[in-house]
Amino acid sequence: MPVQKLLKEKTRSVSEAVALVKSGDTVDYGFGLTQSTIFDTELASQKDRLRDVIVRGTLSTAARQVIEKDPNQAHFEYQNWHFSGYDRKKSEQGMMSYIPFNFGEGPGIYREYLKSDVLVLRTSQMDQHGYFNFGISNTFARACCDIAKKIVIEVSDAIPTCYGNQNSVHITEVDAVFQGDNAPLFELPSAPISDIDRKVADFIVPLIEDRSCLQIGIGGMPNAVCSALAHSDIKDLGIHTEMFVDGMVDLVEKGKVTGEYKQTFKGEIVYTFALGSKRMYDFIHKNEMCVSIPVDETNLPNKIAANDKVVSINNCLQIDLSGQVASESSAYRQISGTGGQLQFVRGAVASKGGKSFMCLSSRFIDKEGQPHSRIVPGLEEGTVVTTPRSDTMYVVTEYGIVNLKGKSITERALALISIAHPEDRDGLLQQARDLRIISRKYD
């Protein structure tokens, strides 16, 4: 049957599409920019006919009405793979539950362990061959399509078409299609670059070689690294990352990225989702250089390590004197998620000539204006270890950079104290002595 005829037959109002959800169902909302706010609003309005509906989402870019209209979870239970700022607040209020996982395992988890009654995705308009493109947030969307009993699509002119693989669903697989409002995509402002960020970048950039293959996270410090690289003499960089960020556009436009020396996806930028500015969304739209692939292709360590000279740059919240890295929680408060940090750390270290950098400011300031060291003798009770001490390689603050590989606990502690804030070093050293983190030689 011609695809346009199928599209006409499957086109519904959003109310009709939401009517596919029944009590006891599990509804998947997708990831980031592929989540449908219109469907969510309508589902919340139909709450009185529903009970025991589980909704799974990831990295919300707008308020979720199934939470706002049902704060006591009488109708919906909301689960989330990775928190945004909004998600974090709802978790603190007891309205959302985090699902722990390594990002790259997402497709396998869906196919092996989960059920999905209704999958809802916001995509580009259907093309002439009958495909809806969700490549801006590829991640585990194709795996969701494979297991979902029903698939609902919101089409939007605002969603860019992203080249890649396993980044679309065909009209023959879809149960309902509704027209969205074509609202502009959520834009994530680039974090401002501070003096601390620049100092951290200054320690990292000299260790990045020509022909390195980059994974760069989000935030002021990664932005500072991109900026420093853009103005450096480094050349022929490749990009194999989970998240496509604005700084990567700058690197391409400065002629720093060719990808010609990558071992996989030669000459191409590989990513699994994008989040940033309209300028960046316009850049990846129908750009042959940019390849959107599932997260098990970007994030599994063996896929990462297949490239030489992989450089992984990530932020963290805290590190203890043995090298345990906390990047997702503070005590029992879930802040973000494991994401792909651990997998990129392991992939980079396994890569020929690869390097992993963990970045943090030496201190943070609490709500009362009091400073606290991010380098601590031990992590606070409840704080989740995102990267185990045995995996940690380079650690960078504004006061220096140290490589923990091959170092004893004593050597690690002394190295980390050396890059702590100067006013915190004596106290950390005394605590390390008292707790016997360091040997008697340093008493």
Catalytic residues, by residue number, are 242
Q: Are strands 318-320 and 325-326 parallel, antiparallel or unpaired?
A: antiparallel
Contact 30, 141 (CB under 8 A): yes
Q: HEC string of 3-37? A: HHHHHHHHECCHHHHHCCCCCCCEEEEEEHHHCCH
Q: HEC string of 104-165? A: HHHHHHHHHHCCEEEEEEEECCCCCCCEEECCCECCCHHHHHHHEEEEEEEECCCCCCCCEC
Alpha-carbon span 439 to 257, nearest angstrom:
46
Contact 136, 376 (CB under 8 A): no
Q: Is 402 left (phi over 0), alpha (psi -120 to 50) or beta?
A: beta
Q: Are strands 310-315 and 213-216 parallel, antiparallel or unpaired?
A: parallel
Q: Are strands 355-359 and 394-397 parallel, antiparallel or unpaired?
A: parallel
| Cα 183 from chain centre | 23
> What tokens were used for 398?
């504004």
Contact 387, 341 (CB under 8 A): yes
Other C-beta atoms lying within 10 Å of the C-beta of residue 333: 12
Query: Tokens 């391409």 appear where?
Result: 252
Alpha-carbon span 115 to 117, nearest angstrom:
7
Alpha-carbon span 304 to 349, nearest angstrom:
10
Q: Is 183 left (phi over 0), alpha (psi -120 to 50) or beta?
A: beta
